[in-house]
Structure formats: structure tokens, C-alpha cells
Amino acid sequence: MSPMPAEDRETLERLLGETGAGDAKAFRTLYRLTSARLFGVCLRMLRDRSEAEEVLQETYATVWRRAASFDPTLAAPQTWLVTLARNKAIDRLRQRREATLDDASVLEGVVDERPGPSAEAEAQDGYRRLHDCLDALDPKHANSVREAFFSGATYMELAAGLQVPLGTMKSWIRRALIQLRSCLETG
């Protein structure tokens, strides 16, 4: 099953548009098609089921309220939804970490995980190109970018988790981001 394949972009755009007009049925369908993808993202970042459920709920409440502001010329629906979910998860992580500062264990068990792309991911053009550009980077740099994206961790936490100096971590990621941009622009 592919919850959010690229070819469904049009469907998702239509559903978001109808959701923006207050169509609860369209919203329900949108949720059915996209929630597994976003829940995966929330779970991966928060590493806590009940928190991931809460953040997913907040995410879709926001989707319902902001769908009218979704502009398909500015973002793909998948991007819009993933970004919304990640921002909510990151906010939650920052709140949580304010309470448990200095807790380097947040990355425990995370850093060595290397998830393989799913079949439907392979099929997505945006993913394919990003993947190729990441492959062209120094593996350490590419790995740092992936870990940052998947964990939502700060520079400080990443440096602690991957056991490199903070300055090194910043320089890896910054260099990777700049290289990624130019690779994606030329690709």
C-alpha cells in the first residue's frame, strides 16, 4: 500500500482545497490517505507513542484550520503536510528538552538506524533526486543531515549523539546543506 504516492499529488491538492472550504468528508479522506506517513514521521522524531499521537492530532487540527491557506503553487501537498507535522514535533521536542536539558540519551538507539527507502519513496521524483544528491556527499555529512531530519535534534544533541565536537557537527551539516542546494539546482 502506498499512502502518499507522488501521482496522488492532484488528489491531495483537491482534498486540501475541499478541506479548506470546510468539507469534513474530504478532510476525513485526506486523513486516511496521509496520516500513516505523518504518524511515522512523528513517531520517529518523538520516540513516544502517546506524544506522537498528540502531535498527529494537533497536526490535523491545524490542517483543518489552515487548509484554506494552502497554495499549490508554493508547495506540494506532501511537503506542506510533512512540514506541518515536523514543525509540531520539533516544537514538542524543544519543550520537552527544556525540561530535560543535558540529557544526551535522547539520541540513544537512533544514530545507527539507517532506514531504507520504501518502494513508493523510490518512485517519487523529489525523493530520487534528493537521494542522489545525498549520495554524492561525504557519507558522514549525509548521515548527519539524515539524523537531523529524522530526529529533530539540535546541533548540540546531534554532536553529543554522534560523538563529534559541536563545531564539527555544524560545519558538516552546513556544508552538506549548501552542497545539496547546488546539486538539486543543477540536477
> With respect to other proteins, which residue has the nearer C-beta, 83 or 105?
83
77 binds other proteins (CB under 8 A): no
48 binds other proteins (CB under 8 A): no
Query: Which member of 22, 108, 138, 140 binds other proteins (CB under 8 A)?
Result: 22
Q: How many Cα atoms sit within 13 Å of 55 on the Cβ side?
A: 30
Query: Which member of 56, 107, 110, 162 binds other proteins (CB under 8 A)?
Result: 56
Applying the rule CB under 8 A, the residues between 108 and 167 that interact with other proteins are 115-118, 120-121, 124, 126-127, 129-130, 145-146, 148-150, 152-156, 158, 167
99 binds other proteins (CB under 8 A): no
> With respect to other proteins, which residue has the nearer C-beta, 76 or 164?
76
Q: Read out DSSP for 84-153?
A: HHHHHHHHHHHHHHHHTTT-GGGGTTTTT--PPPPHHHHH-HHHHHHHHHHHTS-HHHHHHHHHHHHH--
187 binds other proteins (CB under 8 A): no
DSSP state for residue 163 in the 8-state scheme: T
Residues 120, 5: contact at Cβ < 8 Å? yes
